[in-house]
Amino acid sequence: MKVFIVSSLQPFGHYTQILTNALVRNPYLKVFIAAEKAPENETVEDCGAVYPIWNKGPFFFLPILKKIHEVNPDMIHLQHEFMMYGGSTSAFMFPFFVLFLKIMGYPVIVTIHAVLDLDNVNDDFISAFHLRSALAKPFFLKRFFTVIIWLISIFADTVLCHTKTAASQLTKQYHVSKKKIHIIPACIPEKKVYNSNPKNYFLYFGYITPRKGLEHIIKAFVTFHQKDPSFRLILAGGTIPGQEKYVEELRRIIKPYQYIEFRGEMKDESKLDELYKKAYAVVNPAIINVGSSGPLYQARGYHSCILASDIDHLKEDITDHENGLLVKNTHWADAFRQISHNSKLRNKLIANTIRLAEERNPENTAKNYLQLYSSFE
């Protein structure tokens, strides 16, 4: 069977890289990926045949269609996030790209990675995502998001998501038929380096963006540090274009505190490995959560002790006090205190995380995808 996947694919640790690396181990499956045209995608290995051919913009689909015609796959699997293929025009074009593929006669699966809770689409949401369009008003955005997702579900054969929370939102808020929804939990990558010999620091790795609420983490850590000065906080991650001012503001906030360090973007995976290897615990804050968390499954791959905000999809992905701590965003200082010297609790959380990582490793997750793909034969 030939499966054609469309994804941005980069940077390292991208979900499609993890998944396709497992899929290609099946000798009966040939994987082709139309990836974003980026230098990182020129050197991706062990993920199938990778073609870095499309650029973000209204006509992102043209080189993809050409490559699909050349490959003539048995089915097509598209990855979707609202801004993955460009701005609002590209987002609007995406459902019609799906429609055109259906007209061409291909079975189409669409993984919707980000499902917005429409109740959270308000002025704070617009501010958090730095949306500046004249149409960036809650009334218009809610309808825009609803129409896009609904059209995708109408044209696609299957809409795939990673959590029951997302599936519920798709049916209740976006009017997607339950018959079209398929849930496969996000796989947990197998890392070569695991959490060991912990040092006294908490680690945040992910996008540096307002929807993470990192300023609240910093404030809470300052309070915690006053009573326990043996711990540090390390923040690492890249910046989303258009949100650079937020990073500058965070740098200004942490400047007086030598025990809080900002590492910025991590382009060297070995350096990131070292950070996770020695972190006492990993924090995964959020004030807006739109899907199964990438930083969460990355941290689980390293067998980390995880503290995460008690909201939305994170509440489903984490069983509190079993494979992580769920933290109210007003109680982070308490969470730092609770875990900082409680090795028994820390060891319990890590042991259960290791069991979960084994259950949801890429090979087991790939079997679920293969079963879904086979249903279209």
Residue 38 structure tokens: 């980026």
Looking at residue 113, its pLDDT comes to 94
Q: 278 pLDDT band (50/70/90 cuts)?
A: very high
Q: What is the C-alpha separation between 217 and 204, in angstroms, rounded?
A: 10
H or E element in which residue 63 lies:
helix 61-71
Percent of the chain with pLDDT over 90: 81
**Residue among 301, 95, 109, 30 nearest 188 (CA):** 301
pLDDT higher than 70, residue 135: no
Q: For 311-336, what is each residue's pLDDT tens digit?
A: 989 999 999 999 999 999 999 999 99
CATH for the stretch 201-359? 3.40.50.2000
pLDDT at 242 > cutoff 80 = no
At a CB cut-off of 8 Å and minimum separation 6, what does 146 contact?
118, 173, 174, 175
Domain boundaries for CATH 3.40.50.2000 within the chain: 2-187+362-374, 201-359
DSSP per-residue string spanning 113-182: -----GGG-SHHHHHHTT--STT-SHHHHHHHHHHHHHHHHHHSSEEEES-HHHHHHHHHTT---GGGEE
Convert the pLDDT of each residue in 175-205 to its tens digit: 999 999 999 999 999 998 998 889 999 999 9
Q: Please report the beta strands in the chain, taking only residues with DSSP state E, as ranges in sequence order.
A: 2-7, 30-36, 49-54, 75-80, 108-112, 158-161, 181-183, 201-205, 232-236, 260-264, 281-284, 306-309, 325-327
* Bridge partners, residue 307, by sequence: 283, 325
Average pLDDT of the chain is: 93
Least confident of 71-75, 122-126, 170-174, 186-190: 122-126
**Which token pair is 222?**
């300052």
Cis peptide before 11, with omega less than 30 degrees from 0?
Answer: yes
Classify 2-187+362-374 by CATH class.
alpha beta
Rounded to whole angstroms, the Cα distance separating 29 from 141 reads 39
110: phi then psi, degrees, rounded to nearest 5? -125, 120
With a pLDDT cut of 70, the percent of the chain lying above it is: 98
